[in-house]
Amino acid sequence: MDQTEISAEYDDGVLTVRIEGEVDHHAARHLREDIDKKIFFHRPAVLVLDLSRVGFMDSSGLGLMLGRYTRMEEIGGRLVISDPSQQTEKIIRLSGLDKKIEIKKKGGQA
C-alpha cells in the first residue's frame, strides 16, 4: 500500500506537515524523504507534524518522529506533534517520546 500522503503549509517560521494514511515501515521511508525536503527548503523554526488523519502508526512512526526531532535540533528548531489519535498517543507514551517531544491537542498551543 502506498496510500500515505503528506500536505504542507509554511507560514511565519512554522512548517505544518499533515500526514494522511497509515505510518508503518513501508510508508515511513517515503514520508521521511518528503518531509526532509520541505525542512531543507523552508528551514522552519517549528515543524508541526499534524497526525489528526493518521489511522495507524507503529514504532516506525516513532522513528520518523525521532529522526525529524534530530533534524530540527540540527537547524536550531523544534518539533511539535499535533492531534495524534488515541492509539498513536498510546504508542508515543509507551515509548517515552512524549517526554522529549511536545504534543499539542486540538485547541491547545504549540
Partner 1 sequence: MKKKQINGMKLEFDAISSNEAFARQTMCAFAAGLDPTIDEISDLRVIISEAVTNCVVHAYKNAPGKVEITAKTYEDRSMRIKIKDRGCGIEDIDKCMQPLYTTDPSGERGGMGFAIMQAMSEKFRVVSAPGAGTALYIEIKFGK
According to CB under 8 A, which one of 17, 51, 54, 97 is a site residue for partner 1?
A: 97
Q: Which amino acid is at 90?
A: K
- Grid cell locating 70: 534530530
Residue 32 sits at φ, ψ, to 5 deg, of: -55, -50
According to CB under 8 A, which one of 7, 13, 26, 40 is a site residue for partner 1?
A: 26
Tell me whether residue 24 or residue 102 sits nearer to partner 1 (CB atom): 24
According to CB under 8 A, which one of 87, 105, 108, 110 is a site residue for partner 1?
A: 87
Q: HSE (CB half, 13 Å, CA atoms) of 103? A: 19
Closest CA to 19 of 101, 107, 81, 110: 81
Tell me whether residue 64 or residue 80 sits nearer to partner 1 (CB atom): 64
| 6 lines the binding site for partner 1 (CB under 8 A) | no
Tell me whether residue 86 or residue 109 sits nearer to partner 1 (CB atom): 86
According to CB under 8 A, which one of 63, 78, 98, 104 is a site residue for partner 1?
A: 63
Look at the alpha carbons of 66, 99, 54, 79 in this order and tell me if their dihedral is positive or negative. Answer: negative
* CA gap 93, 50 in Å, rounded: 17
Task: By CB under 8 A, name the binding residues for partner 1.
Answer: 1-2, 22, 24-26, 28-29, 32, 56, 58-60, 62-64, 66-67, 70, 86-87, 91, 94-97
